[in-house]
């Protein structure tokens, strides 16, 4: 954003700064979350006293135009973005011919809904469900509950929950949810990217692969062989069976899911392979922050 300052003007430099920042926000030249120049940078570039810039930024913060993030800088406030969304809601309602009392009634309905206090993972496969729930719980603070798809009173389980499922199951899960229910889709982690540090396949290395979920074992066999690991160098173990740990001590490393990793001895090199992508876990963290953040954040 371009700024101008008239040093010999009846309008104070602080007021010039404040007005230009506000106009920049209102005209979308400055976007919510955008970082503003530091106090030192503005003072040096425009020959301003640092106290003038600091005073202007403090006024903008008091009026909720900007927010200070400790150790990071000054940013256009997210409150501005929220005001824009609310204004757009009312503009859209007017265009659709929806009267204001009806808009207020629907808003009141949404505000009276229970604030979500946990994640609900919906996954038909019991073993896969355990793995996904463990990975999600490791990434978030809210409790993670889980259930299958065909369960009684699914609508009751959804009360106060953020529904989550794998992207590939989204269509069938959506059919079981009430109209308007929100559903977060989880993406699967890239297998080739996760294997990159193991390639090219080292010769003569024995690898163990262990999991209670058959899908994990099948996927691992296909991808490792395709990546160049000799089939006779891979030892597969179904962790649901008795004595499944037998022979794994001879392996250079054991690739497994997060749940199975906790059942392996510490004397062997365990390499947990996460199923949920980092991007999806970050999305859940943002969802959690959205729910749990205070009314006016001060970072």
CATH number of the domain where residue 41 is located: 1.10.10.10
For residues 228-255, give the mean pLDDT: 90
Residues 242 and 203 in one domain: yes
What is the domain count for the chain?
Answer: 4
Residue 12 predicted with pLDDT over 50: yes
pLDDT confidence tier of residue 299, bands split at 50, 70 and 90:
very low
Residues 180 and 210 in one domain: no
Higher pLDDT among residues 41 and 194, named by residue: 41
Residues 212 and 246 in one domain: yes
**Angle, helix 13-26 to helix 50-62, in steps of 10 degrees:** 40
Residues 201 and 182 in one domain: no
Instruction: Please indicate, yes or no, if residue 57 is contained in any of the structural domains.
Output: yes
Residues 129 and 240 in one domain: no
User: What does the angle CA 209 – CA 244 – CA 134 come to, to the nearest 5 degrees?
Assistant: 60
- The token duo for 219 is 């996927």
Residues 159 and 35 in one domain: no
Instruction: Please indicate, yes or no, if residue 172 is contained in any of the structural domains.
Output: yes
- Spatial strand order of the sheet with 234-238 comes to 234-238, 207-211, 253-256, 270-272
Q: Are 239 and 263 in contact (CB under 8 A)?
A: yes
Confidence (pLDDT) at 180: 73
Residues 200 and 268 in one domain: yes
Instruction: Please indicate, yes or no, if residue 2 is contained in any of the structural domains.
Output: no
pLDDT confidence tier of residue 266, bands split at 50, 70 and 90:
confident
Rg (CA), the chain: 27
Tell me the per-residue pLDDT of 128-157, one tens digit each, with 9 for 90 and over. Answer: 999 999 999 999 999 999 998 876 667 778
Residues 92 and 157 in one domain: no
For residues 25-53, give the mean pLDDT: 90
Give the separation between CA 102 and CA 96, rounded to whole angstroms.
12
> Any idea which residue has 């962790």 for tokens?
239
Tell me the per-residue pLDDT of 94-125, one tens digit each, with 9 for 90 and over. Answer: 889 999 888 888 888 777 666 888 999 999 99
Residues 40 and 157 in one domain: no
Q: Provide the CB-side half-sphere exposure for 210 (13 A, CA).
A: 30
Confidence (pLDDT) at 60: 93
Instruction: Please indicate, yes or no, if residue 107 is contained in any of the structural domains.
Output: yes
- Write out the residue range of the structural domain in which residue 259 sits: 191-273
For residues 231-250, give the mean pLDDT: 91
Tell me the per-residue pLDDT of 51-92, one tens digit each, with 9 for 90 and over. Answer: 999 999 999 999 888 999 888 899 998 777 777 778 788 889
For residues 229-235, give the mean pLDDT: 89
DSSP string, the chain: ------SSSSS-HHHHHHHHHHHHHHTTSS-TTPBPPPHHHHHHHHT--HHHHHHHHHHHHHTTSEEEETTTEEEE-HHHHHHHHHHHHHHHHHHTT--HHHHHHHHHHHHHSPPP-EEEEE-S-HHHHHHHHHHHHHH-SS-EEEE-SS-TTHHHHTTTEEEEEEGGGHHHHHHHSPTT--EEEEPBPPHHHHHGGG-SPPTT--EEEEES-HHHHHHHHHHHHHTT--GGGEEEEETTSTTTTTTGGGSSEEEE-HHHHTTS-TTS-EEE---B-HHHHHHHHHHHHHHHS-SS---
Confidence (pLDDT) at 151: 61
Confidence (pLDDT) at 152: 62
Residue 295 predicted with pLDDT over 70: no
CATH number of the domain where residue 231 is located: 3.40.50
Residues 63 and 208 in one domain: no
Instruction: Please indicate, yes or no, if residue 204 is contained in any of the structural domains.
Output: yes
Confidence (pLDDT) at 18: 92
Confidence (pLDDT) at 297: 44
Tell me the per-residue pLDDT of 233-242, one tens digit each, with 9 for 90 and over. Answer: 999 999 999 9
Higher pLDDT among residues 85 and 7, named by residue: 7
Q: List the one residue out of 60, 38, 39, 35 whose CA is nearest residue 49.
A: 39
Residues 196 and 211 in one domain: yes
- The token duo for 77 is 């406030």
Residues 178 and 206 in one domain: no
Tell me the per-residue pLDDT of 162-220, one tens digit each, with 9 for 90 and over. Answer: 899 999 888 888 888 877 778 899 999 887 777 777 677 777 888 899 999 999 999 88
């Amino acid at each position: 954003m371009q700024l101008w300052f008239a040093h010999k003007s009846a309008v104070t430099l602080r007021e010039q700064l404040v007005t230009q920042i506000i106009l920049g926000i209102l005209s979308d030249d400055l976007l919510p979350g955008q970082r503003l120049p530091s106090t030192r940078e503005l003072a040096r570039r425009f020959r301003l006293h640092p106290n003038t810039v600091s005073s202007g930024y403090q006024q903008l913060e008091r009026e909720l135009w900007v927010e200070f993030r400790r150790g990071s800088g000054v940013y256009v406030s997210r409150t501005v973005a929220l005001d824009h969304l609310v204004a757009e809601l009312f503009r859209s309602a007017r265009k659709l011919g929806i009267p204001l009392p009806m808009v207020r009634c629907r808003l009141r309905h949404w505000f009276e809904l229970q604030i979500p206090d946990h994640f609900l993972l919906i996954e038909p496969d019991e073993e896969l469900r355990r793995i996904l729930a463990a990975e999600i719980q490791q990434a978030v603070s809210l409790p993670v509950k889980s259930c299958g798809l065909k369960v009684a009173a699914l609508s009751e389980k959804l009360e106060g929950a953020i529904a989550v499922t794998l992207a590939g199951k989204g269509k069938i899960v959506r059919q079981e949810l009430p109209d308007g229910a929100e559903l977060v889709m989880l993406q699967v982690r890239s297998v080739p990217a996760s294997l990159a540090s193991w390639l090219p396949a080292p010769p003569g290395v024995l690898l163990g692969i262990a999991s209670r979920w058959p899908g994990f074992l099948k996927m691992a066999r296909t991808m490792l062989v395709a990546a160049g690991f000799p089939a006779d160098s891979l030892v597969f173990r179904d962790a649901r069976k008795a004595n499944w740990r037998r022979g794994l001590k001879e392996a250079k490393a054991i690739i497994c899911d997060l749940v199975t990793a906790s059942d392996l001895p510490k004397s062997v090199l365990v390499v947990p392979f996460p199923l949920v992508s980092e991007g999806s876990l970050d999305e859940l963290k943002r969802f959690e922050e959205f729910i749990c953040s205070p009314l006016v954040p001060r970072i």
